[in-house]
Structure 1
Amino acid sequence: MVVALVTTMLFSCKNNFKEVQQIGVLQNEPIGEAKNINLKYTDSGRVKANLLSPKMLDFSNRSFAFSEFPEGIHLNLFDEEQNKSVVVADYAIVYDETDIIDLQGNVVLITHTNDTLYAQQMYYDQKREQLFTNSPVRFSFASGSQGRGNIFDSDIRFDHYELLEGSGSTEIDQ
């Protein structure tokens, strides 16, 4: 009888390590919190982006993991010649699986040539080195000219912008 009981107990045990890890962690709560973040994205030993933020919440405990920056970010982007462009936003989310940064609230982009773009939301694709949005944008070029549009797309060098307005499109080469 003892052998039967021990055998039954051994076969009824299961590996629930993930469940044990989740004890005390609510589904909607972050698994971690960090302050004064200085995150660098590199490729082949070269810094391509540097994200700075006063606070980060880690939601890697979710099936689609992400990091949230509720107090805003300062993002430095570097091209092949190490020219620096800057993006600031009131709020941001970095999606781990896609390497997309969703920038929200008073987004300002200042290129290395001092052209400035203003938007309420902007996305930065770290893999493709591309900035884009489908919300209204306003440009202020270093030359003094200005522009507006509804959709914006640009490479990391900001040499070539595509600005879509209504049904037409405008390409701006600097």
Structure 2
Amino acid sequence: MKLKNIHNLISIAIVITMAMLFCSCADNYKRVGDEAIKKIFPSAVAEDFTLTYTETDGGKADDGDSRSKIIAVLRSPISNDFDNLDFPYRTFPKGLKVEFFDDKGMKSTVTADYGIIYSKTNLIDLQGNVVIETEDGKKLEAPQLYWDKGNDWIFTQQKFKYTNKEEGTIMDGEGMDFNRSFSFFHANKTYGLMSIKEKKDD
């Protein structure tokens, strides 16, 4: 009889212990201080934003000051400035348009649905319906492109479509990099249509 009572007491103790364990597993912990997820707000918001990139050409103007030339103009309906963070950046949530100018003054235009400029690295991340068009009829379309402003280099690992009306070529591919003037163009994987013009001998 005593053995049975001891067995019952042990069973009740186990049940109570298990119930206490299950009750203590409820997440009633309130996150405070550094553990709480911090909301990030821009330090400034600009509407009808325009940013002009210039560089000095080494010459002197008539008044003795160094001459500078415009290499790119970025426009966007709205810009959110997060330069108050440890890794500063600027976003363009309603899209952006960038106009590039080469040494001869020829203009290339880039449009995208969304963009981010990382201030410390001079890298621009263009996302959503990215289109690059040049004055001589070249057109590049991709879902995402990166522009390394410091090295004047553009690249992506996404799929792309490159159309050259002057040469009558259409190239589809995946992953590529090129310079801003399209004088160097490297594609990782290509497939598509290309027509070759034959030269007639006199």
Aligned: 1:59 with 2:82:
yes
Q: Which runs of 5+ in 1 are unaligned?
A: 1-25, 167-174
Partner of residue 28 from structure 1, selected from 25, 37, 40: 40
2:177 partner letter: D
Partner of residue 100 from structure 1, selected from 116, 120, 123: 123
Partner of residue 150 from structure 2, selected from 127, 149, 165: 127
Question: 2 CA distance for matches of 1:113 and 1:46?
Answer: 22
Structure 1 ranges of 4+ moved more than 6 A: none
Partner of residue 117 from structure 1, selected from 140, 149, 167: 140
RMSD: 1.3
Aligned: 1:145 with 2:157:
no
Are the aligned partners of 1:105 and 1:120 in contact in 2 as well (CA < 8 Å)?
Answer: yes
**TM-score, length-scaled by structure 2:** 0.67
* Structure 2 counterparts to residues 158-173 of structure 1, below 5 A: 158-165=182-189
Q: Which residue of 2 aligns with 1:77?
A: 100
Q: Which residue of 2 aligns with 1:19?
A: none
> Residue deviations 1:64-122, cap 9 Å, x none?
10000000000001111111101000000001001111000000000232111110000
Q: Which residue of 2 aligns with 1:155?
A: 179
Kindly tell me the number of residue pairs found equivalent between the two proteins.
Answer: 141
SS in 2 for 1:135: strand
Deviates more, 1:33-42 or 1:109-118: 109-118
Question: 1 CA distance for matches of 2:73 and 2:175?
Answer: 25
SS in 2 for 1:139: strand
Question: 2 CA distance for matches of 1:52 and 1:161?
Answer: 26
| TM superposition shift of 1:27 | 4.5
Q: Which residue of 2 aligns with 1:16?
A: none
Aligned: 1:91 with 2:102:
no
2:156 partner letter: T
Q: Which residue of 2 aligns with 1:43?
A: 55
Q: Which runs of 5+ in 2 are unaligned?
A: 1-37, 57-67, 191-202
